[in-house]
Chain A
Amino acid sequence: MTTISRIITVERDVLHRSVADAQEFRHRLAVRGTLVVQLISSPGAGKTSLLETTARHWQGKLRMAVLVGDIATARDAERLASLTPVVQLTTGGACHLELPLVERGFAQLDELDLDFLFVEDVGNLVCPASFDLGHHRRVIVLSTTEGDDKPAKYPKAFRTSQALVINKIDLLPYVPFSVESAKADALSIQPQLEVFRLSALTGEGIAAWCGFLEQERSRLLANDP
């Protein structure tokens, strides 16, 4: 007996379904007037500190909330809880967030009227770059203690971001980090990157960063009601 076989052509991105779901989430949040900002970085670059300082800057003026992803523990959520509504997403070992977890977390914030929703990904410059979380902007945080060679080493994370935050500039006198060289490398990978130098600890540069986010939200409101 001969076997019958059939070849079915697919020619599609393996992640096309999650991209379609992400598109829907992005649209849903845009309609509500909420700008979704995904933050990615290496562990310890200061994503949580940046969010704490941002929340203080906007206190009483703009409404934000945070979904914070970690492999284990709720420490980041505990740090943020006194400043902003926050939901801890625990990946249970996975090295990156995926949309279903983000959607489940957001369901807990669904009642809130928000101007900004931050999604703090797991600290990792590799895996998070491949997943669409339904964000409007992806921001990469690079700190001066990590070395200025990171853009060249993790090109995908930089290529897929719209803004680069160079954090811990208060430490520049003590570390061999060239802001110019990190910036030049990052811009050769993604010329459209908006670059911010700041210190989440001292607050230097925070006003420009928050101004950028406010402007991006205005653009969202203008383009996509």
Chain B
Amino acid sequence: MHERSLVNALLAQVAELARRERAVAVRRVRIRVGSFAGVETELFRLALKEARSGPLFADTDYAISDVPLSACCHSCGSHFDVSGFRFQCNDCHSSDVQIIAGDAVILEDVELALS
């Protein structure tokens, strides 16, 4: 259940931002979870709910969106969604491809209440 580790890292970063801006509350946190991030979205939500995050987070809305795994092909340059974990270009079938999105948990933005 490493979702907890990710949630701790996330909340620490948001709390630091909130302190820096002297915010009185964190209203909304937007997060993108990649389908290849190794994260179960439901467990991630649960870990957010269970985290001891303090009063700043009392009414925080966590907006989580799922992002598909996508890659670009080094041979022909096309961009494509990776399906069935087959890392092969849809157009030219090269396997020289690089992941461009969907393999991480991204903190998009944070809405803070300042007064």
Contact = CB atoms under 8 A, between A and B. Distances in A.
A5 B109 CA distance: 13
Interface string B71-115: 000000000000001111000000110000001111111111111
11 contacts: A3-B114, A13-B105, A14-B31, A18-B9, A98-B5, A130-B38, A130-B39, A152-B85, A156-B38, A189-B85, A190-B87
B2 A130 contact: yes
B67 to A, nearest CB: 12
Given A127-B2, A189-B87, A190-B87, A6 B114 contact: yes
Contacts of B31: 14
A5 B112 contact: yes
Interface residues of A, number: 33
B38 A126 contact: yes
A5 B110 CA distance: 10
B38 A95 contact: no
Contact of B38 (A8, A129, A188, A189): A129
A63 interface: no
B47 interface: no
Contacts, number: 102
B2 A5 contact: no
Given A12-B107, A188-B88, A3 B21 contact: no
Nearest to B94: A191
Interface of A: 1, 3-15, 17-18, 94-96, 98, 126-127, 129-131, 152, 155-156, 159, 188-191
Contacts of A127: 1-2, 38
B111 A14 contact: no
Contact of A191 (B21, B87, B108): B87
B6 interface: yes
B10 interface: yes
A15 B5 CA distance: 9
**Which 3 A-B pairs rank lowest in CB-CB distance, beginning with the nearest?**
A155-B85, A127-B2, A191-B95
Contacts of B39: 130
A159 to B, nearest CB: 7
Nearest to B96: A191
A191 B95 CA distance: 7
B17 interface: yes
A11 B87 contact: no
A42 to B, nearest CB: 15
